[in-house]
Amino acid sequence: MAFKLKLFGGILLLLLASTELFAQKIDEADTRAIVQANYIYQFATNCNWPNEVKKGKFYIGVLGNVPLVENLKEKYGSKPAGTQIIEISSLTDIPTTQFFHILFIDKSRKNDLAKAIKELKSKNTLIITNWEGAIAGGAHINFKSLSNAIRYEMNETLMLEKKIQPGIKILQWKID
């Protein structure tokens, strides 16, 4: 009667819920860059440039924002803006020879805004920025934060001086 069956008993180990094996991963995408890229595409497709620059490719240059360049290239590179095909370039300096329909200057390069305005004075280039006070500094469109969301303010008069006509959708969603 004292016979023990433990000989065969064994021990069953508890499995551990491995959080490593099935770990959820945070999406590393820069959402601000995704949103800004989409806005820039909207500006490209919903603004009207003068006829003399409506031929060849539609050039967008970005100064100082790698995630934005990557997002633009990935999602909107080679897409049409009207009859033109969009080409995205990452810039290291203000372009003085090649024409760009849109030039985005990141806040990390805010000191280049004055130079851009001077160098591009006679060109139909839409200058877009992303820092407080850029509109007063001469930018045409500036991204700003409204309740944590990215919206944009614009200087329509300056745009018209450049013969760039903002479309109704662009005007409709601007903030003051």
Interacting residues toward other proteins by CB under 8 A? 1, 3-17, 19, 22-32, 34-35, 38-39, 41-42, 46, 75-76, 79, 145, 147-151, 169-170, 172-173
- Least Å distance, CB 131 to other proteins, is 10
Question: What dihedral do alpha carbons 49, 54, 56, 62 form, nearest 10°?
Answer: 0
In the complex, minimum distance from the CB of residue 136 to other proteins, in angstroms, rounded to a whole number: 20
Whichever of 37 and 135 has its CB closer to other proteins, that residue is 37
What sign for the dihedral angle of Cα 30, 95, 165, 133? positive
Instruction: Please report how close the Cβ of residue 55 comes to other proteins at its closest, in angstroms.
Output: 22
Q: Do residues 103 and 127 touch, judged by C-beta distance below 8 A?
A: yes
Q: Which is nearer to other proteins, 75 or 118 (CB)?
A: 75
| Nearer of residues 5 and 136 to other proteins, judged by Cβ | 5
Question: Distance (Å, rounded) from C-alpha 126 to C-alpha 142?
Answer: 11
For residue 24, count CB atoms less than 10 angstroms from its CB and return exposed for 0-12, middle for 13-18, buried for 19 or more. Answer: exposed
